[in-house]
Each structure stands twice: as C-alpha cells, then as structure tokens.
Structure 1
Amino acid sequence: MIRISRGWRDAMKAVSVCAVLAMPLAACGPLQMPLEDRTGNDQWVDTKIKSGILGEFSKVDHTYLIDVNVDIWKQQVMITGMVDSKGKYFDVMSIVKQDDRIKTVYDHLEVADAETIDAYHKAEDEYGKNAVPTDSATQSVSDTWIESQIKALLLAEKGVSSVNYRWQSVSNIVYIMGDAQSGEELDKVLSIVRRIKGVKRVVSHIATI
C-alpha cells in the first residue's frame, strides 16, 4: 500500500486548485463536452462560478481549499466537507452565496471539532484507496475508496452516463447530484451507490430530465 502524507495530499490538492484558478477562462470561451447533458453555456458558467468561489477561499482562508468540497452542475452548487467552527461555516457559506448566478445551494458542510477533523484526515491518509483499514475503530471504509468505486461502477454500467453526476463521500455518507435521463437510470445509479461497501447513507440531488 502506498501511503501519502496529509501534507503531500494537501499540496497536490492545492496544485489542482491553482490549476483551476489559473485557467484562462476568457481565452477558452464556452465549450461543450459531447457526452454531458449540459449546454456549452452551462459548462462555461459553472466553471466561472467554481473558479470564483475557490479564488475567494484562497484569499480568505487557504484551509477552505483543502477541507471544503465545491461541486457544481447547471449552476446548482453542492458544498460538502468539514470545518472546525461555526464562524468558518458561516464564512464559507457567505462566500458561496455571493454569486447571484447560483440557482440552488445544497448545504452539507459539517462543523466538527479540530481533533475530529484531524483524525478524519489521518484515517484517509492511512487507508488511502483500501476498503478496510487495519484499525476499524476510527473509520470502517475510506471515503477515497468509496469515491473511486462510484466512479468505476457508474462508468462501467450500461445505460448510465457517469459524466452527468458529481459526488462526494464524507464520513461514508455519499452526496450526489446531476441529471438522470430517466427514472430507470436514477434508480440504477442510487442502487449502485447504496450497494458499495461501507456506504452508510446516500443523499441524492439528482434530477430526472
């Protein structure tokens, strides 16, 4: 098993964030990925919204870039993760809600004490992409592993367009958003996610189009 320290993981995430912030949006223009059920304009606006939020995070408190997940689909924003005070919670949500292009905010940001958050990060670092840690007292299944399973299983499933979904697993609770082409696809997606080992609960913001 390859173990990645939190410092290295955080550095890699920060690099990814910087890449998003540095993207030359004005030069790119509206683009449409052929398989997504989003118009080119939706993708363009979603990208600008996310880069704006992350830019504000970097100005106000760089830890928000590590501890808070921002997922966007058709100007609907899903916020997940953990912060260690109510002040930070209100700070994050205030930043997110500043953008009037956002249609809906799905607020799943948790407030936990610093020790709990630190233990969570250490567990994720320790267990990586393995499903079952050696010490199951802290966390039975890695969220990283759950997220990788969702990606693999949705991608492999016939009748499911995985590119139309965004998801996060936090403390083994999966939050998922996006568009399903039919009620059948919606049921299939939720069934797949619920069957993954370790998933405690699924919170769905999936619409049927």
Structure 2
Amino acid sequence: MIKVNRGLRSVLKTISVCAVLAAPLAACGPLQMPLEDRTGNDQWLDTQIKSGILGEFSKVDHTYLMDVNVDIWKQNVMVTGMVDSKGKYYDVTSLVKQDTRIKNVYDHLVIADQETIDSYHKAEDEYGKNAVPTDSATQSVSDVWIESQIKALLLAEKGVSSVNYRWQSVQNIVYMMGEAQTEEELNKVLSIVRRIKGVTKVVSHISVA
C-alpha cells in the first residue's frame, strides 16, 4: 500500500509519474523540443520507455512508484532509490531491463531495511526543503533541498544547458546523467554540484557530445 505521508518529494514525484503515464506524446510520434540537445525521436522514445517502465511498476507494486526513481536520456536509463528486499531489487531491475530499446541501465538501487527507508521518508517529510535540519547531528541535509539547489544553480550558470541533465539525490549522494556539450561544461556542472552543502558524493553518467 502506498504511504500518503511522504511529503513534498512524493507529491512532486506523483505528479511527475501521472504526467508521464498520461502523456499523449508517446502515442503521437516524434515531437521536437528545441531547448534540449535530444532529437524529437529520442525524446519520443525516452517518453515511451519511461511510461512503459512506470506502467509496469504500477501493475506489480505501487510502492515502486514512490521508492524508485527512473531517469532516462537517449535510451540510457538510471535507476536510483531504496527497496527493502533482494526480491524487490530483482523485481525492479528486471522490469526496467525488459525493454529492448534501452541501451544502458545505470543501476544505483539500494537495498535497505524497512526501518531505514521509513526513517528516510520521515526525515524528508519533516525537513522538506530546509538546508539544515533542527537536529543536524543526526539528520543529513534534505535530498529535496539538494535537488532544488542543483536545479537553481545549473539554470543560473552561464554556459550550462540545465535541460540536458537529469539528477537524483539519495541519502545525500547525487546521481547524474545527461549530456554536456564540452569537457569544460561537464567539469563546471560537476564542480557546482560537489560544492552544494550536504552532498557527500557525485556519481556521474554524463557524456560529452
């Protein structure tokens, strides 16, 4: 059963999931979005693949929609989040990998005990977008806040096309994918993210055009 008290992160994710599952674009063929450095066909395929994965999640276990993040760029898929058993881990990864159009799967799904997962969601609910929790000795910086900082900083940075990147923060580890136009842009993006308060590690699957 889906827990409905997982705060802003879950609300935003639910909206995103619904938008993807309901998107008519997947049935309408290629559509060019000029701001991204993906062709219309790539965007169409990515939308189809993601909606298919989320659709399978909804059929098998609705909690996957809340606990597992699926990001995609040019048919490369990045999976992050936490599940509470090896069975669920293999379930999720097998559902993701069944689409033959996927080129690569970057698997960063973590197996954690249910207490750890519940504590994580409780902390995210309680602290939301706050940079530093009241009890900063026991609780790390909010992942929601880290993700919002990445969005704001990349959007404001000259020479960086933020629309070409995807990112997730899980327990203060940031996972990124997408495409930089130059090595300079790639280094700039990684440097910005690494300097954000609370980020303990950055895992990059960003390619250079």
Structure 2 length normalisation: TM-score?
A: 0.94
In structure 2, stretches of 5+ residues that fail to align are none
Q: Give 2:69's aligned amino acid.
A: N
When residues 138 and 57 of structure 1 are mapped into structure 2, their CA distance, relative to the original with a 3 A threshold, is farther
Q: How far off is 1:11 after superposition?
A: 5.6
- Aligned pairs for 1:93-132 within 5 A: 93-132=93-132
Whole-Å separation in 2 of the counterparts to 1:26 and 1:143 = 30
1:157 maps onto 2:157 in alignment = yes
For the residue of structure 1 that corresponds to 2:98, the secondary structure is coil
Cα distance in structure 2, aligned partners of 1:138 and 1:91 = 32
Q: 1:24 to 1:189 in 2, by over 3 A?
A: same
- CA distance in structure 1 between the partners assigned to 2:26 and 2:160 by the alignment: 33
CA distance in 1, matches of 2:16, 2:146: 21
1:80 equivalent in structure 2: 80
Q: Deviations over 1:28-51 (max 9, x none)?
A: 321121111100000000000000
| 8 Å contact from structure 1 (residues 123, 138) kept in 2 | no
Are the aligned partners of 2:26 and 2:47 in contact in 1 as well (CA < 8 Å)? no
For the residue of structure 1 that corresponds to 2:44, the secondary structure is helix
Two-structure CA RMSD over aligned residues (Å):
1.6
Q: Distance in 2 between matches of 1:7 and 1:150?
A: 20
Q: Which moved more, 1:11-20 or 1:160-169?
A: 11-20
Residue 17 of structure 1 corresponds to 17
**What is the identity, as a one-letter code, of the residue corresponding to 1:61?**
D
Gap runs ≥5 in structure 1: none
Aligned positions, number: 206
- On the 8 A contact 2:70/2:80 being kept in 1, the answer is yes
CA contact (8 A) 1:76 1:104 kept: yes
Give the distance between the partners of 1:137 and 1:113, measured in 2 at CA: 22
For residue 51 of structure 2, what is the aligned residue in structure 1?
A: 51
Q: CA deviation at 1:19?
A: 2.8
Instruction: Please state whether the residue corresponding to 1:158 is helix, strand or coil.
Output: coil
Counterpart CA distance in 2 for 1:206 and 1:11 is 27
Deviation of the 1:190 alpha carbon: 0.3
Q: Give the CA deviation at 1:22.
A: 1.8
Equivalent-residue separation in structure 1 for 2:139 and 2:8 (angstroms): 21
Q: Which residue of 2 aligns with 1:148?
A: 148
Taking the aligned partners of 2:120 and 2:193, their CA distance within structure 1 comes to: 22
* Percent identity (aligned): 83
| Shift >4 Å, 4+ stretches | none
Counterpart secondary structure, 2:42? helix
Distance in 2 separating the partners of 1:70 and 1:139: 25
